Structures are given as C-alpha cells and as structure tokens.
C-alpha cells in the first residue's frame, strides 16, 4: 500500500474515532486528487500542478437521524467542529447503519507510473513531444489551431466506518488534442511502456493520417431529416450511456417508479452487452469498494440486448429489496462539492462486449453515414425519456464505405432516442460493436455502429 493511501486511511480512522462520541454510527469518506496537467497551445507550454487536494465527507447516525458534514482537511478537530455544527439539521436516515465490511486496501497505481510521480518534469517532456510530433505530421498544415495537453492523474479513495474500512488508489497518464476546436482525440494509459508512450505522444496525429481536406453538409449527402447509420467513437458511446441511459438502470429510479425496465425485457439489438465493473485496477473510477465501503463486483446489466439487473447502493437496495451491487457513489450534481455530494446509484467502470468486425470494416459497410467523435449539448439530454438532441462537434461523412469529408461545423444536428416508441426506434435497435476496444479511463468500450437522426 502506498504511503499516501495509508496516510489517508489513518486520518480517516482518527476522524471516525473523534466523531463516535456524537452518534450511534459514523462514516468518513476521504478522497485525494493529485494532478500534473500540462497544456499545449500552438507553441506555448503551460505547466500546472495540483497536489494534495483532499476532500472529507462525514455521515453520522444518531437516534435514526442522519447528519452530513464536509471539510477540505484531515485535522480531526476541524472535522469534529464541522460535524457538531451540522448536528442540528439531521434528516431521517435511509440506512440503519453504515458498512461493516472490511475490504482490503488496494494500490492500483502501476509501478511504471512511478518515474512520472517522482519527477513531474517527465510529464512536461511528454507535452513537448506531443507538440513536436504534431509539427512533424505531413498534414499538420491543414490545421489552423492545435490545442493539446497531457496529465498525470492519481486518485486515492478511502471509506472508514466504526466497523470496517476500505479503499484504493488508481492512476494513469492522459493526453488529449483539439484540432481547429472541432476534432477531438484522447489517449489514456494506466501502464506505461514503449507502445503507451508512442500513443500518448501521437495524440491528434492519429486523426491527421486520414484527415479529409473539406467540409460536408447534410444536404450535400442527402441526409437531412432522416435516420442514418452512425459509428460512435468509444468515448462518445460511453458518454451517451452514462448521460442518457444510466438513470433507467439504477435501483433508485426503480424505487421512484420512473423506469419501465424489468429483468428479461428486450431493449436493444442482440449484439449489445453491457457490464458495470467493480474492482478493475486500470480504471480510475473503480476500486475494491464503492464510496459506502460496500464490496464492488462485476454486474451484467444488459446481455444480448436483454435487460438483466439494476445497479444499487445500500439505501436503494433496501428500498427495493434488491441485492447490493456496490454502486453507491458520491456523485456531485450542479454546484455540489464531492465531499458534500449525496450517495447516488451510478455505473462505476463500464465495459461492453466486442464484436467481430474492425472499425474500418464497419465504416466500409456504410452506404451513407457519419462517424461521430463527440457531441455538443449531450449534458442537456432528456433523461426521463432517454433521448437527446445535440450538435456534432467532430466527425466524418461517409459515402459508399469511404470517408469523404469532415462534418461541417454547425450544420449537423444529431438526435436519437434510446428506447423504441414514438416518434421512432432506438438508436441501438440495430447495433454492432467493433472488434477493438478502447480503454477510456472509466471504461473499456468498442466503436458502436448504431443509428441517429439528422435534422
């Protein structure tokens, strides 16, 4: 176990010991983020450093009432003062007690990252290499503006209660690039070897290899006002599932009567299989326990297009009578701080089963269609109806199996619904994943050949 994780757990124990005198049960959640980001803007390198940012969230049960308090420090007295102040505004507790499970602490930061942890100047060297590789690319002259960056991310989480504890550490290197503020590329690697360094340094350059030299509008391809084939990039596919679909998959929504899903209900095409991952050492949002200390696990959510299981926290499992799946996450919404966020049911790591054809073969199979890298406005999706209406931020137009141009900025309005019904079919009613999958940092995702509507 790393010194940082061990120190975080020790601090949690001291805070929990100090808080016990004020209630029947106490839980202390601690998270520390260390980040070493380097921004690249044309010829300028902008290093930053955010190390040791700690957030502490406390929950205390006394006489059936729950009190919440949070701080940004590890001092027991400071945390105890915050808890005392909050005692007057307790609310009915949704659980009789906090987790009693002891989950082994797991340091998932790969040893290959240690040189970057010990010498953050290596991250700056990586940023310089990104800029140099882009300058050397044959088609770099096609790009008016190039914004990129790289970052070492380290996340330490711990949960300490009166009867148990758990936690873990995760880390990885991430690089990203924006070409003309329209085409976006991201590389994430939790294990650093020669191939990983090559991929991190060539972020953005990969897009230039087959970069089209012209923009294409929907009218030019006869695509306006119709349903078309769309190949969704792995991160975009994950974003749609997390943003638009997730609310329908969680036990809280079931308890509130806001989902029509039930076990055994066919909802998507037969090649659609989705898992929520638990303890995956390569994903930043995974660990041996969730943010309540409940052991995590792999849960099959959808198999062959058929819904299999809801995802639950301790409270939602209690409300619905379902088994706990270890999906209780402190998830901020709006202006919430993570330490003040409520425990919400959420997908942790996400994994989709691969298909049999490569991404290139899927493109070649499209008579007319689009390749979509990202969408603007996905955050405003209608989660109640599981549908979205957005604008394409980056992508390519495809005709007769070949990429013929970029999607003209501001001209492609993309929409879709995730379940069949008026006014149309699910974007995943006829879906095919690619053979290859991408490690996004929060999931293992293939390219997804689906459908969207173009306005």
The 10s digit of each residue's pLDDT in 353-387 is: 999 999 999 999 999 999 999 999 999 999 999 99
As assigned by CATH, the class of the 3-207 domain is alpha beta
pLDDT of 405 reads: 93
* Residue 228 CB neighbour total at 10 angstroms: 20
pLDDT of 52 reads: 84
Instruction: Identify whether the C-beta of residue 173 lies closer than 8 Å to the C-beta of residue 200.
Output: yes
How far is residue 431 CA from its own chain's centroid? Answer: 22
pLDDT at residue 276 tops 90 = yes
pLDDT at residue 202 tops 90 = yes
pLDDT at residue 331 tops 90 = no
pLDDT of 217 reads: 94
pLDDT at residue 1 tops 70 = no
Q: Which of 163, 225, 125 is nearest to 24 (CA)?
A: 163
pLDDT of 361 reads: 98
Mean pLDDT of 110-137: 93
Q: For the chain, give the percent of residues with pLDDT over 90.
A: 79
- Which residues sit opposite 34 in a β-bridge? 154
pLDDT tens, 216-249?
A: 999 988 877 789 999 999 999 999 999 999 999 9
Kindly report the three-state secondary structure assignment for every residue of 370-395. EEEEEEECHHHCECCCCEEEEEEEEE
Q: Which residues of 336-371 are buried (b: 16+ CB within 10 A; e: fewer)?
A: eebbebbbbbbbbbbbbbbbebebeebbeebeebbb
What angle in degrees, to the nearest 10, is found between the helix axes of 194-201 and 121-136? 60
Mean pLDDT of 124-149: 91
pLDDT at residue 332 tops 70 = yes
Mean pLDDT of 87-105: 87
Residue spans of beta strands (DSSP E) within 72-111 = 91-92, 106-107
Q: Which of 312, 320, 319, 321 is nearest to 294 (CA)?
A: 312
pLDDT at residue 87 tops 90 = yes
Calculate the CA dihedral of residues 67, 68, 71, 77 and round it to 10 degrees.
10
pLDDT at residue 104 tops 80 = yes
Residue with tokens 């890298």: 373
DSSP 239: H
Rounded Cα distance, 428 and 449, in Å: 8
Summary mean pLDDT of the chain: 93
Rounded Cα distance, 62 and 87, in Å: 9
Q: Which of 214, 184, 174 is nearest to 375 (CA)?
A: 184
Which has more confidence, 103 or 262? 262
The domain ranges of the chain are: 3-207, 212-310+348-454
pLDDT at residue 338 tops 80 = no
pLDDT of 100 reads: 79
Phi, psi of 7 (to 5 degrees): -65, -35
Kindly indicate the confidence band of residue 345, based on its pLDDT and cuts at 50, 70 and 90.
Answer: very high
Residue with tokens 């049999």: 356
Q: What are the Cα distances from residue 415, in Å, to 253, 284, 423? A: 24, 30, 12
Rounded Cα distance, 16 and 423, in Å: 53
Q: Which of 194, 187, 176, 179 is nearest to 137 (CA)?
A: 179
- Between CA 97 and CA 106, with CA 100 as vertex, the angle to 5 degrees is 135
Least confident piece of the model among 120-124, 179-183, 385-389, 435-439: 179-183
Q: Which of 262, 265, 259, 251 is nearest to 320 (CA)?
A: 251
pLDDT of 64 reads: 93
3-state SS assignment for residue 361: helix
Which has more confidence, 213 or 130? 130
Least confident piece of the model among 9-23, 29-43, 271-285, 358-372: 29-43
Least confident piece of the model among 74-88, 205-219, 309-323, 390-404: 205-219
Residue with tokens 């989705």: 274
Mean pLDDT of 197-224: 89
């Amino acid at each position: 176990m790393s010194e940082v994780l061990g120190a975080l757990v020790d601090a949690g124990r001291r805070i929990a010991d100090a808080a016990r005198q004020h209630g029947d049960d106490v839980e202390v959640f601690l998270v520390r983020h260390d980040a070493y980001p380097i921004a690249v803007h044309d010829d300028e390198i902008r290093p930053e450093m955010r190390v040791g940012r700690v957030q502490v969230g406390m929950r205390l049960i006394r006489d059936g009432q729950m009190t919440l308090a949070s701080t940004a420090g590890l001092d027991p007295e400071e945390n105890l003062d915050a808890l005392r102040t909050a005692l007057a505004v307790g609310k009915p507790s949704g659980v009789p007690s906090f987790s009693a499970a002891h989950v082994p602490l797991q340091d998932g930061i790969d040893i290959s990252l240690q040189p970057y942890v010990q010498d953050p100047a290596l991250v700056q060297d990586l940023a310089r290499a990104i800029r140099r590789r882009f300058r050397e690319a044959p088609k770099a002259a096609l790009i008016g503006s190039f914004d990129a960056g790289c970052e070492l991310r380290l996340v330490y989480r711990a949960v300490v209660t009166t009867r148990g504890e758990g936690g873990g550490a995760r880390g990885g290197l991430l690089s990203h690039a924006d070409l003309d503020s329209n085409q976006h590329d991201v590389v994430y690697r939790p294990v650093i070897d020669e191939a990983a360094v090559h991929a991190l340094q060539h972020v953005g350059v990969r897009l230039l290899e087959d970069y089209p030299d012209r923009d294409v509008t929907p009218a030019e391809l006869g695509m306006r006002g119709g349903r078309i084939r769309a190949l969704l990039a792995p991160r975009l596919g994950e974003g749609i599932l997390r943003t638009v679909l997730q609310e329908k998959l969680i036990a809280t929504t079931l308890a509130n009567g806001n989902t029509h899903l039930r076990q055994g209900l066919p909802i998507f095409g037969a090649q659609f299989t989705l898992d929520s991952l638990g303890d995956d050492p390569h994903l930043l949002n995974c660990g041996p326990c969730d943010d309540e200390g409940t052991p995590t696990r792999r849960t099959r959510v959808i198999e062959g297009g058929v819904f299999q299981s809801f995802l639950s926290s301790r409270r939602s499992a209690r409300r619905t009578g379902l088994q706990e799946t270890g999906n209780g996450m402190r998830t901020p919404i709006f202006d919430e701080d993570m330490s003040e966020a409520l425990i919400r049911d959420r997908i942790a790591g996400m994994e989709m089963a691969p298909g049999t054809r490569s991404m290139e073969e899927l493109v070649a199979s499209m008579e007319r269609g689009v390749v979509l890298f990202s969408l603007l406005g996905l955050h405003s999706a209608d989660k109640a109806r599981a549908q979205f209406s957005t604008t394409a931020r980056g992508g390519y137009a495809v005709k007769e199996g070949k990429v013929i141009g970029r999607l003209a900025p501001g001209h492609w309005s993309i929409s879709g619904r995730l379940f069949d019904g008026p006014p149309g079919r699910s974007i995943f009613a006829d879906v095919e994943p690619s053979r290859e999958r991408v490690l996004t940092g929060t999931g293992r995702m293939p390219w997804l050949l689906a459908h969207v509507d173009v306005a």
